[in-house]
Amino acid sequence: MYFFYFSVMKNAVYSLLFLLVTVFGYTQDKPLLPTGVIIDSVKVAAAPTESYAIYFPKKYDGKTPLAVVFIFEPAARGREGIAPFIPAAETYQYILVCSNTLKNGSTQNNIGIANRLFDAVLENYTIDTSQLYIAGFSGGARLASYFGISTGVFQGVIACGASFNDMDKFIPPSNNFSYVGMVGDRDMNYLEMTENKTWLDNAKIVNTLFIAHYEHAWPKPSQMLRAFDWLELQAYRKNIRPKNDTVLKRIYDSNMRIADSLKANNEMILSVNAYERGITFLNTTDDNFIRAKISEIKKSKPYKEETAKTEKIKVLENEILDKLWHRFDQELKSAKPVTNFKFWKSEINDLNVMKADDNNPLTQNMAVRILNWFQVSVYETGQEYKRNQQNDKFAYCQELYKMITETN
């Protein structure tokens, strides 16, 4: 399985690198399409059954090479994938491209679709190939993360609601890219994303993690703009874009305003994260001021208390997840049909009690994450058994899923 996975991925890397080497040979006139609107469906010439949505910022002239963001939407909804990125595209002049064909499913098929998409866009539009970015949500984030870590051609990855597949972490990383993780504190993949940040830090990949109050969904446009503010700072650091003092001041002021607001709301961990993103690494007086502010917060009692509670919740969440998955696995292995689901009803009732506890938001968020994770896990496991025609296991998953959705 590992050999097959890496053979497929290796071929994808070679295809993309070949494309980037040869794309400079194209000299034909580039078509100028409408700007400032999402163009829903552009056909891929090499595969007429495939298409993509595209967005050109209002100032695009068809002649000046612009940065591009390739976006993977897990349900192949090009318009929905592009929408969260539009304010960032207008602010920093990015072309946005999202496949209408690539969706959660076969990795091998998606690699082929992605390569044809890269080919079509780089051949037909005026792209600055030193400023390629790749983004995705959920399963799309996993594919985007793979291309970021393995190819060495993308300057940035924006991964929303999911991180790498575990196998991808065996690939020696190309450290040229910057990684933005984005996740809601009620997202079923929240723990995965926080643990992924630790892995990125250890791998010495420049990264940040935005956490906001939502479940498993695309981030809001205002949140996506903040992600691109951070990527702009990394572009200055790597000399990909010329430093702009006006932009620097706006980013600094925005981060300070958000961080101050979070601190006033006693969200100490998120406030520290926001302050940290205001550090430009350009050794300015403002950077030193922010570092001093972060140091002060980390010494405070509220920060230490919140950190301790967060760690305690993390331990409890892992314990509950392990218990649920072990029981689920054991019942799937059993030939005996389960009809009353007594154990599951008790567990879900306990989680629903936590979910309703407005006085303990950290516990409340944890319960929402676990319930959503388990519901999705049972559904996806059942679909796998259905595809493999293991009808007894599929029937069990169906009944358990029905009970969960009725209770949750």
Written as one string, the DSSP assignment of 61-98 is -SSS-EEEEEEE-TT--HHHHHGGGHHHHHHHTEEEEE
C-alpha span between 162 and 193 (Å, rounded): 6
Residue 125 has pLDDT above 70, yes or no: yes
pLDDT tens, 44-59?
A: 999 999 999 999 999 9
Mean pLDDT of 79-93: 98
Residue 333 has pLDDT above 90, yes or no: no
Whether residue 378 contacts residue 328, with contact meaning beta carbons closer than 8 Å, is answered with: yes
For the chain, give the mean pLDDT: 89
pLDDT tens, 33-45?
A: 899 999 999 999 9
| Predicted local distance difference test score (pLDDT) of residue 285 | 74
Which is more confidently placed, 242 or 29?
A: 242
Q: Give 142's Cβ-side CA count (13 Å radius).
A: 20
Mean pLDDT of 266-295: 86
Helix (H), strand (E) counts: the chain: 14, 8
Correct CATH for 37-241 of 2.40.50.140, 1.10.3210.10, 3.40.50.1820, 3.40.50.300: 3.40.50.1820
| Predicted local distance difference test score (pLDDT) of residue 284 | 67
C-alpha span between 304 and 401 (Å, rounded): 39
Which is more confidently placed, 268 or 334?
A: 268
**Phi, psi for residue 332 in degrees, rounded to 5:** -65, -35
Structure tokens at 244: 């702009």
C-alpha span between 281 and 237 (Å, rounded): 7
Which is more confidently placed, 285 or 401?
A: 401
Residue 282 has pLDDT above 80, yes or no: no
Which is more confidently placed, 1 or 176?
A: 176
Residue 338 has pLDDT above 80, yes or no: no
Residue 101 has pLDDT above 60, yes or no: yes
| Predicted local distance difference test score (pLDDT) of residue 21 | 44
Residue 162 has pLDDT above 60, yes or no: yes
Candidates 178, 15, 30, 37; CA nearest to 96 is 37
C-alpha span between 225 and 315 (Å, rounded): 33
Confidence of residue 386 (pLDDT cuts 50, 70, 90): very high
| Predicted local distance difference test score (pLDDT) of residue 5 | 43
| Predicted local distance difference test score (pLDDT) of residue 30 | 54
The pLDDT > 70 percentage for the chain reads 90
Confidence of residue 378 (pLDDT cuts 50, 70, 90): very high
Residue 29 has pLDDT above 60, yes or no: no
C-alpha span between 332 and 365 (Å, rounded): 28
The pLDDT > 90 percentage for the chain reads 76
Sequence-distant (≥ 6) Cβ neighbours of residue 105 within 8 angstroms: none
Confidence of residue 24 (pLDDT cuts 50, 70, 90): very low
pLDDT tens, 223-274?
A: 999 999 999 999 998 999 999 999 998 998 999 999 999 999 999 999 999 9
Structure tokens at 311: 């760690």
| Predicted local distance difference test score (pLDDT) of residue 168 | 86
C-alpha span between 331 and 397 (Å, rounded): 10
Residue 183 has pLDDT above 50, yes or no: yes
In DSSP notation, 148-168 reads HHHHS--SEEEEES----GGG
Candidates 162, 168, 166; CA nearest to 373 is 162
Strand partners, 178: 156
Residue 4 has pLDDT above 70, yes or no: no
Mean pLDDT of 286-300: 91
| Predicted local distance difference test score (pLDDT) of residue 40 | 93
